[in-house]
Amino acid sequence: MAFEFKSLLSATATTKAEPFSGYPPYHFVGGNIDEPTVPVEALANAVGKVIRTEGHNLAKYGLNSGPQGHLPLRKFICDCLKKRSEIAVKPEEVLLTSGSLQAMDLVNQTLLSEGDVVLLEAANYAGTLTRLDAIGVEYVGVELDSDGMRMDLLDRALSELAKAGRKPKYVYTIPTIQNPTGSVMPVERRLEMLTLAKAYNIPIFEDDCYADLTFSGERPAAIYALDNDQRVVYCGTFSKTIAPALRVGYLVAPWQLMSHILPLKTDAGSGALEQMVLAEYLPGNFDDHVCDLLPVLKAKADALCLALDEHFGASVAYEKPVGGIYLWVTLPENVDTDRLFQAALDQGVAINPGSQWTVDGSANKHRMRLCFGHPSIDNIRKGVAKLADVCFEEFGVPFRSGNIERG
């Protein structure tokens, strides 16, 4: 009889995975990107070249660069941040991480303990919320409008916490192509956020993972860049611009905080080959690559909106995306996307239910996130049509699709 591990599991090991059985045919979840845009040939050339010249350095943990990661890539990130986000930092203030998720984990480990409280956008990246749940940190959701987190509501939330004698550990924000709402916070509001952070003497954790994907190629200065008293921690990634499977993200922080973060990165370094290939490929190629990528994503966003308009008509509301790879969709109040999620999955369509992407899950059961980065335009069209069918069967809406009455 086999030994039973069950009785030995820790309190955190409560869930159980099912064996992986492949992706559903219509896969509107996850930060996957457009396959044909991965610069395969250029990456292959870059990696061959860099391994031949520097491959012997792989014999050392951290190459020659120490625990913060491959120095040439950190230098490129400094140049890139200066040019694109107006952030002026030195390589000593940059830490290469295994995806921006590790950056988030490190910031949380450094600053958060059970029982702490943070503030964040009320609709948010599910991975942020589950991480905070796992640590036992309370989060206060601040509602958004089309310019991102509302500063009057942030002020109110901060004031209420102060009255209750609670000092939040940070305000977490995705100001540029907010996940899932897609909003881009204007400079004025970023400055307001800094003013509030100063007034309440708290730091800001700025997650800029999608910031390179505004379809116009323009973006406001990062909050990190607008700050003048070292109150902002920042993370970014190459997952959405080059390839998510590479797992190369980065954390930017003033040395006073970085020096406390580094001892908590106990993984003996992030993957070096990925750092080396990006350091070889990105300088001289990154801007052009992003330039080529943006119209592809915009065409997919347009196709998704068109398909929703055609198949859901007046039954959906959304803000037309100005960038990114996801759309936040509001359905009629009677639609429960937790139920829709399961029914759609049974038909091969994967969606993100709104309850998982919001602080107040029960108030957002009629919303969903649809990711359009990976599926082809044809797949988007067919998947949305199928989703409309399932939604009608389950909830009686959309009643009309493409001007034709259902039922």
**336 contacts 368 by C-beta, under 8 angstroms:** no
The sign one gets for the Cα dihedral 238, 185, 131, 167 is: positive
99 binds a copy of itself (CB under 8 A): yes
Segment 8 to 27, residues that bind a copy of itself, using CB under 8 A? 8-13, 15-20, 22-23
Instruction: Report, in Å, the least distance between residue 103 CB and a copy of itself.
Output: 11
**100 contacts 240 by C-beta, under 8 angstroms:** no
Q: In this complex, which beta carbon is closest to a copy of itself, that of residue 272 or of residue 351? A: 272
| Binding-site string for a copy of itself from residue 137 to residue 176, where x marks contact by CB under 8 A and - marks none | --------------------------------xx------
| Binding-site string for a copy of itself from residue 361 to residue 390, where x marks contact by CB under 8 A and - marks none | -------------x----------------
Q: What gap in Å lies between CA 295 and CA 86, rounded to an integer?
A: 24
Contacts of 119 (CB under 8 A, 6+ apart): 139, 140, 141, 142, 154, 157, 158, 161, 168, 170, 171, 172
Instruction: Report, in Å, the least distance between residue 179 CB and a copy of itself.
Output: 14
88 binds a copy of itself (CB under 8 A): no
Instruction: Report, in Å, the least distance between residue 325 CB and a copy of itself.
Output: 11
Contacts of 238 (CB under 8 A, 6+ apart): 246, 248, 249, 278, 282
Q: Name the residue among 175, 119, 128 with its Cα closest to residue 148.
A: 175
DSSP 133-149: HHHT-EEEEE-EETTEE
Instruction: Report, in Å, the least distance between residue 160 CB and a copy of itself.
Output: 20
Q: In this complex, which beta carbon is closest to a copy of itself, that of residue 152 or of residue 288? A: 288
| Binding-site string for a copy of itself from residue 232 to residue 251, where x marks contact by CB under 8 A and - marks none | -----------xxxxxx---
Instruction: Report, in Å, the least distance between residue 324 CB and a copy of itself.
Output: 16
Instruction: Report, in Å, the least distance between residue 374 CB and a copy of itself.
Output: 6
